[in-house]
Structure 1
């Protein structure tokens, strides 16, 4: 019986084969998933770097414990050697070109290997992104071809030549292992297919929530029902705007408030909030036309609770915080829209662009302390937020909600 490879080489051979099958199964689907495949893309990168590390270890073991002698010469032996050499090029080159592709992308997405080990970007020029992308795709096709040639050669030796060559890559001459170890490749393909996100639904739950938020003035009311439910005094206040007596009070926002956002992502919802923001509010609730509102949001503080996505949000494709660190909403005047409900039409400045924006809010409480809660619907495309391929699955409208307490002297 031919001499076997070392147990370490055998273990690495089948482990790498299973991981490569998983990578191929997942890799072809990523391009069509857009933003829905974000988490899967991170896993794809982690497995790719793992394949690179395991392959380098495999090379080291090959020199430490040389492989068994070839059983076949001539052009068939030369072809087998060429396929093996090509597979090593693929197993090293595919992860490296993938790493280069991520490092030269316009949107700098941080990479944590399996969510734990940070992977720095390679110091490559952005101009090389196209070449890295082409090389990565080409190597995938070459790798599949070499993979099939390798399998065909193994079957030829085992079924036609019956020289026992395949047993060199088995820890023992056991028929169970002959089927179990190659089955790992099938398992890799199946798992890769199984974890792909389900097809996007026509109407995502988050989309319905945002559409509802667009029409909502206060929880459980619409504009018409709010006005109809208001008492005659409120309706009179809407119809006839009395002049305020004296200057309107200034309100100081108290700690503990929140500005959140949510948007659909192919059948799922992405929700987050801004950790840093401030507001200057002057308004007499009895005379809303006196309102002077300015809200400033630190875009770098945006978070969806995921380090990968948080890094992506601040990049050029989304908020571009390096050049536009702050979003500002301003409004001069508001109008009554029901019992304790108001609407303010103003301007949102985001990513260097200024567009009309309306917010709706309610006030609760009396005296010098009020609770403010409200919502707005922002068309992200008008501001160039989400302008790349990774945003293809995101809904066009973002639901923004806010709640905080404010005091006046």
Structure 2
């Protein structure tokens, strides 16, 4: 049986959909925390809506990943590079699932009775096991904000590694996750 050289179409679609959603969430997050930004309430609601969407898609992606094999890393990668790649992927799964949960916990802890309605139509409940309280809300906000900053760094690292593989190593690591591309021989 030939070795798998590309990710499945489902994995590729999930990867890029979640990636663009996360980049949008970062942009929304930066805009909505600016006190001079008009329509901040709408941005907060969109941020929460897209965050829950990322959570649901990421859970589906994790389940998909558990039951579908991925292409192997190149044999000539250094041990530290293999470790970095595996660590980065685990960190992304932690972020893709953990950040929306932190945001949801923050909203649930808020003493302000502002309901979450996904895309202004679907009511979304607070987490029932999170007690209401300003201090707890601030703790979740601190974690959500600072992990968001770390996420930006991880995205830059991930993109830089992909570019290194494509332009320096000239291997298939980058193209195997790109839609409509062929893996080099």
Q: Structure 2 length as normaliser, TM-score?
A: 0.88
Structure-2 separation of matches of 1:47 and 1:160: 35
Structure-2 separation of matches of 1:84 and 1:73: 17
Report what 2:176 is aligned to. 168
Structure-2 separation of matches of 1:173 and 1:40: 35
Residue 119 in structure 1 maps to residue 124 in structure 2:
yes
User: Structure 1 runs of 4+ off > 4 angstroms?
Assistant: none
Based on CA coordinates, which of the two structures has the bigger radius of gyration? 1
User: Is residue 4–residue 168 contact of structure 1 (8 Å, CA) maintained in 2?
Assistant: yes
Larger strand fraction of residues:
1
Residue 158 in structure 1 maps to residue 166 in structure 2:
yes
The 3 A distance-change label for structure 1 pair 173 and 2 is: farther
User: Is residue 100–residue 122 contact of structure 1 (8 Å, CA) maintained in 2?
Assistant: yes
Q: CA deviation at 1:73?
A: 4.3
Report what 1:65 is aligned to. 68
User: Is residue 116–residue 124 contact of structure 2 (8 Å, CA) maintained in 1?
Assistant: yes
Structure-2 separation of matches of 1:2 and 1:142: 32
3-state DSSP of counterpart to 1:137: helix
Given the alignment, which residue of 42, 46, 49 partners 1:46? 49
Please identify, of 117-126 and 30-39, the stretch whose mean Cα deviation from structure 2 is larger.
Answer: 30-39
Q: CA deviation at 1:67?
A: 1.5
User: Is residue 4–residue 70 contact of structure 2 (8 Å, CA) maintained in 1?
Assistant: no
**Structure 1 stretches of 5 or more lacking a match?**
175-409
- Give per-residue Cα distances to partners, 1:31-53, cap 9 Å, x unaligned: 12477311111011000000111
Aligned residue pairs total: 175
3-state DSSP of counterpart to 1:32: coil
Report what 2:58 is aligned to. 55
Larger helix fraction of residues:
2
Given the alignment, which residue of 84, 90, 107 partners 1:85? 90
User: Is residue 4–residue 68 contact of structure 1 (8 Å, CA) maintained in 2?
Assistant: yes
Report what 1:130 is aligned to. 138
Given the alignment, which residue of 1, 6, 9 partners 1:7? 9
Q: CA deviation at 1:164?
A: 1.9
Structure-2 separation of matches of 1:36 and 1:6: 39
**Which structure is richer in relative contact order (CA contacts within 8 A, separation 6 or more)?**
2
- Give per-residue Cα distances to partners, 1:79-114, cap 9 Å, x unaligned: 111111111111111111111111111212101111
Pairing of 1:244-259 with structure 2 (within 5 A): none
- Give per-residue Cα distances to partners, 1:133-158, cap 9 Å, x unaligned: 11101110111111111001100000
- Give per-residue Cα distances to partners, 1:312-368, cap 9 Å, x unaligned: xxxxxxxxxxxxxxxxxxxxxxxxxxxxxxxxxxxxxxxxxxxxxxxxxxxxxxxxx
Given the alignment, which residue of 107, 125, 141 partners 1:102? 107
User: Is residue 2–residue 168 contact of structure 1 (8 Å, CA) maintained in 2?
Assistant: no
Structure-2 separation of matches of 1:38 and 1:49: 17
